[in-house]
Structure 1
Amino acid sequence: MTTRRRGTLSSIAAVLATSLVLGGLTSYAQGFLPDWFSSFANSASGWTLLTAVLVFLARCSWWVSALLGAGSFVLLTLGYAAVSTLRGFVYDPTFFAIIGLIAGPFIGLAACWIRRRDLRAAAATAVLAGIGAGEAVYGLTVVGDTTSPVYWVFIGAVALALAVFMLARRVRRALLPITVVLVGTALVAAAFTVAFSLL
């Protein structure tokens, strides 16, 4: 086995194991995070952020990153369900595991392509910034009466900062990639908001 292959397998194992642990920790985090930030542990954007960071740090090929995105999101869900059940709060992970299998590959691919430039970087930015912006809109408008606005504003600001950084540093001087970032982010955000409003 080559050194590169061993490194890839180690990265895969690290992402999957860490996802399971972090998923369990988000169950506890709902109890010890301050009220104004507790939505992080109970939101799609929280798990999206964790998945994207883990896959980004793994530095795997695009197709491995896509698979890791799905695996990470599903294991976050299973870890959360296992710890919640141990704590006496029975949680069925099936629904969000299915969402993870569908959305996870796009998140993983975006986490890989965010290192690139031009169209790939633009598409990655649209996915990740769009999810953050969509969750911010959903949080402030749909569940704003029952949750603190702080986390929703925070994740929206992170999404905006990502889009601005990518436009300034990696997606420059080309109309099509810039359009993909701006229009793509808006479309992903709108789709996210509508989809979660219907759940």
Structure 2
Amino acid sequence: MNTGTTQQPTGLGGPAAVATAIGAGLLAGGLTAFGQAWLPDALRSLANSSGSWSLLAFALALVARHRGGAALSGFAALACMLLGYVLVNEARGYPSSTGLVLFWTAAAVVAGPLLGAGAHLLRWSRGRAAIWGIGAISGVLVGEGAYGLLHIADTTYPPYWWGEIVVGVLLLLAAHAWRFRRWSTTATAALLTAAVAAAFVLAYSNGGTLMQLL
């Protein structure tokens, strides 16, 4: 089984990939600020979900030709989503707290490059090297879905969180068909997904406390 990196036929160079991530990130962040007020109850969690931002950052990094550009694209996307969100809310008269800005900046610094590099591995690698890519994004989606059902189901729309879990599982199955082919590799990716999901629930459960301390 080939576990190395395959030949990279197409994709954006580093500057173009990062520029795309910056533009899309700013737009998505600004739309998030409006979405929190305008979306119906069944969809409002979409504008309060780190899973949706993470999935967009992951998708934007997929177009990068090189792993470094993909990692930087992941960071740029998340950082600019935060910037767009803060700027639009500021213009609307809803300033963001210092704790919120610092917490999500730290998340962009840590999670952004991991999601970006993971997207590159998933697209260009086969076998076990690619499990890190799908494990990262599926873990975030499953983890946030689990957190939503465990902690905020009474104040939000529970089917949204179930949907996020389903999307995470479907992405894992898609990676099996596209990259892994062997169920033993997919099982390893599922274990990594579970580990990331558990870490996400733990971090998110203490996120409010951390933001108050910052």
Q: Is the 8 A contact 2:70 2:113 kept in 1?
A: yes
Q: Please give the alpha-carbon distance, in whole angstroms, between the structure 2 residues aligned to 1:15 and 1:67.
A: 9
Once the two structures are superposed, residues 73-103 of structure 1 have per-residue CA deviations (whole angstroms, 9 ceiling, x without a partner) of 1111111011011111111322201111011
How many corresponding residue pairs? 194
Instruction: Give the corresponding residue for 1:80.
Output: 85
Q: Please give the alpha-carbon distance, in whole angstroms, between the structure 1 residues aligned to 2:11 and 2:78.
A: 23
Instruction: Give the corresponding residue for 1:91.
Output: 96
Instruction: Give the corresponding residue for 1:164.
Output: 173
Unaligned ranges ≥5, structure 2: 1-9, 208-214
| Equivalent residue for 1:183, pick from 191, 198, 208 | 191
Give the letter aligned to residue 27 of structure 2.
Answer: V
Q: Is the 8 A contact 2:172 2:186 kept in 1?
A: no
Q: Please give the alpha-carbon distance, in whole angstroms, between the structure 2 residues aligned to 1:120 and 1:15.
A: 24
Shift of 1:172: 2.0
Q: Please give the alpha-carbon distance, in whole angstroms, between the structure 2 residues aligned to 1:72 and 1:100.
A: 8
Q: Does 1:38 align with 2:38?
A: no
Q: Is the 8 A contact 1:81 1:91 kept in 2?
A: yes
Instruction: Give the corresponding residue for 1:66.
Output: 71
Q: CA 1:174–1:142 in 2, change beyond 3 Å: closer, same or farther? A: closer
* Superposed counterparts of 1:11-22, under 5 Å: 11-22=17-28
Once the two structures are superposed, residues 21-65 of structure 1 have per-residue CA deviations (whole angstroms, 9 ceiling, x without a partner) of 211111011122221111111111111011111222x33311111
Q: Secondary structure at the match of 1:170?
A: helix
Q: Please give the alpha-carbon distance, in whole angstroms, between the structure 1 residues aligned to 2:66 and 2:33.
A: 31
TM-score by length of 2: 0.84
Q: Is the 8 A contact 1:123 1:180 kept in 2?
A: no
Q: Does 1:24 align with 2:65?
A: no
Shift of 1:174: 6.6
Q: CA 1:5–1:125 in 2, change beyond 3 Å: closer, same or farther? A: closer
* Superposed counterparts of 1:138-153, under 5 Å: 138-153=147-162
